[in-house]
């Protein structure tokens, strides 16, 4: 159980990396388009600040939304695995993508079309974040399978 929790937290960090990176890079891209000088150190410091800021700082850290979305999606995937025969990595990847889809596409509908994540303002941004959720889910499906196999031994 502890190892599954660690794998879940790593999957959450993977998803959060995509959220922070997409938000940072889209903001930096816009700044660059208005002739603001952007250096490598600015890119790295902004990525780190956004990753930390979106994870633990602020009135309501985005990581709480990501954790809740992934937890619900992975729980549903776990139940579906008992009903249908599909590879774990695939169903968890679809679940991770569905979780991020719900966060970046469906949640704004409940908040008067306000995007909770700045990097999700464009269709490309939404696509990148959903892909990040799929990668996080794939990671969880791949690593949790090994954890289950080790616990049975």
Tens of pLDDT, residues 99-131: 999 999 888 887 777 777 777 888 898 999 999
Q: How many angstroms separate the CA atoms of 83 and 99, rounded?
A: 20
Spell out the residues 6+ positions from residue 138 whose beta carbon is closer than 8 angstroms to its own: 89, 90, 92, 93, 96
pLDDT of the residue at 58: 65
Whether the per-residue pLDDT at 136 is higher than 90: the answer is yes
Higher pLDDT, 69 or 25: 69
Q: How many angstroms separate the CA atoms of 85 and 87, rounded?
A: 7
Q: How many angstroms separate the CA atoms of 152 and 93, rounded?
A: 24
The pair of three-digit structure tokens given for residue 57, joined into one six-digit string: 């700082």
Helix axis angle for 88-101 and 62-83, nearest 10°, is 140
Q: How many angstroms separate the CA atoms of 114 and 5, rounded?
A: 32
Least reliable range by pLDDT among 30-34, 73-77, 134-138: 30-34
* Rounded percentage of the chain residues whose pLDDT exceeds 90: 41
Query: Which of the four pLDDT bands, split at 50, 70 and 90, describes residue 151?
Result: very low
Identify the CA nearest to 80 among candidates 70, 68, 92, 69: 92
């Amino acid at each position: 159980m502890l190892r599954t929790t660690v794998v879940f937290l790593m999957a959450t960090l993977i998803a959060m990396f995509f959220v922070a990176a997409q938000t940072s890079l889209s903001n930096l891209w816009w700044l660059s388009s208005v002739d603001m000088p952007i250096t490598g150190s600015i890119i790295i410091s902004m990525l780190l600040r956004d990753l930390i800021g979106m994870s633990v700082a602020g009135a309501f850290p985005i990581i709480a939304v990501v954790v809740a979305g992934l937890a619900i999606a992975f729980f549903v995937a776990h139940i579906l695995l008992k009903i249908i025969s599909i590879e774990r990595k695939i169903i968890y990847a679809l679940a991770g993508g569905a979780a991020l889809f719900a966060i970046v596409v469906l949640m704004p509908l409940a908040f008067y079309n306000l995007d909770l994540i700045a990097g999700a303002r464009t269709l490309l941004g939404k696509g990148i974040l959903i892909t990040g959720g799929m990668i996080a889910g794939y990671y969880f499906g791949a690593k949790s399978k090994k954890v289950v196999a080790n616990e049975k031994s």
